[in-house]
């Protein structure tokens, strides 16, 4: 792949522009498609809250109109060196609402998911939350393999 793009896999670190901490991209079941490092790849429809993006995974939401109550969140997050540190925040708990597939999936790399042709995701792909947050990958998930 050109332009230093990497394919996204289970465990990619994500960040929402209205969130306060990063969260991880999850994959409840793999699609049977793997990178050379044998990591399960994700596709454009892996955007479900609860199975791919967990409620509260971005900590607190700064978007206007986010309907959650004020909460205090204590969470272990990785610092720049990869060490886990505790972060304590107070505000509106993140409850993402994702209504569309990932934007900017790979243009030419497709794979079959139960008979449907799906495009692979890269580090250029992103999601939009209904509350206005843009969810971008910070890592591909392949860095520790």
Choose between 55 and 98: higher pLDDT. Answer: 98
Q: Is 77 exposed, middle or buried (0-12, 13-18, 19+ CB in 10 A)?
A: middle
Please indicate, yes or no, if residue 145 is contained in any of the structural domains: no
Please indicate, yes or no, if residue 101 is contained in any of the structural domains: yes
Report pLDDT digits (tens) over 32-69.
Answer: 999 999 999 999 999 999 999 988 889 888 888 777 66
- Residues 103 and 97: their CA atoms lie apart, in Å, by 15
Please indicate, yes or no, if residue 102 is contained in any of the structural domains: yes
Please indicate, yes or no, if residue 38 is contained in any of the structural domains: yes
> In the prediction, which pLDDT does 144 show?
73
Confidence of residue 85 (pLDDT cuts 50, 70, 90): confident
Say how many domains are in the chain: 1
Domain with 67, as residue range(s), is 1-140
Give the pTM.
0.81
- Give mean pLDDT, residues 85-92: 71
Please indicate, yes or no, if residue 80 is contained in any of the structural domains: yes
Phi first, then psi: give them for residue 23, nearest 5 degrees. Answer: -130, 170
* 49: its two tokens: 């809250």
């Amino acid at each position: 792949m050109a332009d230093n793009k990497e394919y996204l896999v289970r465990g990619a670190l994500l960040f929402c522009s209205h969130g306060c901490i990063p969260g991880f991209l999850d994959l409840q079941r793999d699609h049977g498609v793997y990178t050379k490092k044998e990591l399960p790849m994700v596709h454009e429809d892996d955007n479900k809250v609860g199975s791919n993006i967990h409620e509260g995974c971005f900590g607190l939401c700064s978007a206007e109109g986010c309907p959650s109550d004020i909460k205090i969140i204590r969470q272990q997050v990785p610092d720049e060196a990869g060490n886990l540190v505790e972060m304590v925040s107070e505000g509106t708990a993140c409850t993402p609402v994702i209504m569309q597939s990932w934007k900017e999936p790979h243009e030419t790399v497709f794979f079959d998911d139960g008979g449907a042709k799906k495009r692979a995701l890269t580090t250029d792909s992103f999601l939009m939350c209904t509350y206005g947050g843009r969810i971008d990958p910070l890592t591909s998930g392949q860095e520790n393999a």
